[in-house]
Copies of this chain bind each other. A is one copy, B any other.
């Protein structure tokens, strides 16, 4: 997928042009002096490390997946209708093992452990992704909304049947006209004080609910997000439980449902459109944890600011985002397992010897295509582990302060964006690396690619999510945060002196940490070793600090020149998004570095350090133009990084098989006879 004209630094081990910058062989010398020894990888031990606290849960899911592995073929062979039923049946059967209900309270048949529920969900990404998404819709979105936005009477009414899959529901937030800007939804729920009911209405065609999983076929209930109107006053978006089908599956009066039809992938999930024509629901169907309407028609909420209330509600639902990010990362593992294993079996062209063709993975280009993606997958895995752990603490009430919650939301948004883009890119690169065989459905990439594609835009469009991250950074997750759209953010930032913005932002602390680590300041370029984690972290932190404060300055300058705030935002938008990305990349590197640093000395640590170095240096290399533009990378250093990446790839090459084996994707879920059983007998 090397579509852009990006020319590599010409500084591999076979040196570059003599006329160019002189070669520094320092790193290579250090390498031999340090007595580098190829590590051996203990695969089960590495799997244990990856599986972490929830190894048992992950293994339960692996076992379940293997049991239902025929569903991978069913996805190809069954009609859409049949496959939807098959997926539903598998979901319900899995529910009976407890794996899908781990996040619900024990009194309703759940497992009472949010971390476990995330681990279980992520592991489902090794299997058919319609099952994963159907689980996400039923237990994450629908169940999560009832749990997080409802009160005890909602829990009592729905959770037990919901956890077993007996009661299927859907999460009706997105409308055709509004996906990212959810505050502007067009569905309205008007309180009728006479009957003590809400009347739910689709006010115009673009306000129909759209892409709603479970809607076309299986949902009996919908959690509907609508503008609440009481006595002629609008109180913003709230969530309501609206019955949409009776027990026999007939659509109820006033509700109209259409099938979204075939999709690029995930055809085991029944997505649909819903219109409401004056549908009446009891007052008690408002999910009233954060706001309520009294029988007499008085609106009540502990959170006064309506925007803040809305974002507080949304904030409780971030588990879905965390889960999708994790699913993207795990889908990448499936792709890499296939491509790496194939590259260790398939030969093409004679290269180093006559009469024996070379293994694909012994080609430098093939290593360059696959191994940095493998390293990044490990990095994202550990970042995701850290995120899931933080989410568990927040949702379990271990941590309650609002600032931490806002930071967590940003981290969830950013990790979802990076994890799902990584999946799209990795699956594509791995498919191409498997040639024609990668195109046959039996070899797994067809479903992986089609099913994961929507991950980058559902549960939050990735570009919008990175803007959200940047907004948090620029405002230091101020309480005004929840009250701000893009314009609000621009006005907020530009309303302060730039210095104040920078001082207030989290990134200010980064600079201090950079200084602590590298007091030499500008000389770090010469002094620190490329493989020094402090050097790598300092580079990531410098970038983040610099990009974030640069955005603040540019926004302010634009406003000072009298430009329209929206116009300023539009022009700075790619910079804003880059700020969000730089932040999340830094969190990823910190998580990976912390994980490896905590390991006891030994081969496992050596192996993970190779991956961590490869991740960090690949990321710096990809952005080397920026670092050069900002005086943080000399040409010689830039070339040295490219050389080091080549060297790291060659060191990882001998353990590549073990590194993908440790993901422990069940053999049944890989299929791929043409890749894994090569050559054919």
Decide: B260 and A8 in contact? CB cutoff 8 A: no
**Contacts beyond the supplied A205-B679, A435-B457: 16 A-B pairs with Cβ under 8 Å:** A2-B577, A5-B581, A7-B623, A9-B629, A10-B547, A12-B554, A15-B554, A15-B557, A180-B348, A180-B435, A205-B680, A260-B440, A262-B442, A350-B566, A358-B566, A428-B428
- Is A600 on the interface with B (CB-CB < 8 A)? no
Taking CB atoms, residues of chain B closer than 8 Å to A262 are 76-77, 440-442, 446
Identity of the chain B residue whose Cβ is nearest the Cβ of A442 in the assembled complex: B261
Q: A606 → chain B, closest Cβ, in Å?
A: 23
Instruction: Report how many residues on chain A are interfacial, defined by Cβ distance under 8 Å.
Output: 129
Do the beta carbons of B573 and A365 come within 8 Å of each other?
yes
Q: Which residues of B contact A575 (CB under 8 A)?
A: 8, 10, 12
Q: Across the interface, do B441 and A457 meet the contact criterion of CB distance under 8 Å?
A: no
Q: How far is the CB of A420 from chain B (nearest CB, A)?
A: 9
Q: Does A319 contact B (CB under 8 A)?
A: no
Given contacts A264-B445, A351-B486, A425-B3, contact A570 B454 (CB under 8 A): no
Residues of chain A from 442 to 481 with CB closer than 8 A to chain B in the complex: 442, 445-446, 449-450, 453-454, 456-458, 461-463
CB distance from A629 to the nearest CB of B (A): 5
Is A491 an interface residue, CB under 8 A from the partner?
no
The secondary structure that dominates the A interface is helix
Within 8 A of B (CB), among A568-595: 568-575, 577-578, 581-582, 585
Stretch at the interface among A24-32, A153-161, A171-179, A214-222: A171-179
Whether A486 lies near B566 (C-beta < 8 A) is no
Whether, in the assembled complex, A432 has its beta carbon less than 8 Å from a beta carbon of chain B, the answer is yes
User: Does chain B have a CB within 8 A of A181?
Assistant: yes
**Of B12, B438, B454, which one neighbours A571 at CB under 8 angstroms?**
B12
- Cα-based distance from A571 to B363 in the complex (angstroms): 8
* Contact yes or no, A449 B453, CB < 8 A: yes
Docked Cα-Cα span, A368 to B463, in Å, equals: 12
B6 engages A622 (CB within 8 Å): yes
Whether A70 sits at the interface, judged by CB under 8 Å, is no
Contact with B along A290-315 (1 / 0, CB 8 A): 00000000000000000000000000
Within the complex, the shortest CB–CB distance from A351 to chain B, in Å, comes to 3
Among B9, B362, B564, contact of A570 (Cβ-Cβ < 8 Å): B362
- Cβ-defined contact, A351 with B8, below 8 A: no
Chain A 424-444 residues near chain B, CB threshold 8 A: 424-425, 428, 431-432, 435-442
Q: List 12 A-B pairs, Cβ < 8 Å.
A: A5-B623, A7-B578, A14-B571, A20-B550, A184-B357, A205-B679, A210-B436, A264-B431, A350-B566, A368-B574, A625-B628, A628-B628
Please encode chain A, from 406 to 437, with 1 for each CB lying within 8 Å of some chain B CB and 0 for all others: 00000000000010011011001001100111
Would you give the shortest CB distance from A346 to chain B, in whole angstroms?
Answer: 8
CA distance A9 to B628 in the complex (A): 11
Residues of B within 8 A of A364 (CB): 570-574
Would A424 and B1 be within 8 Å (CB), given that A12-B554, A350-B566, A574-B8 are in contact? yes
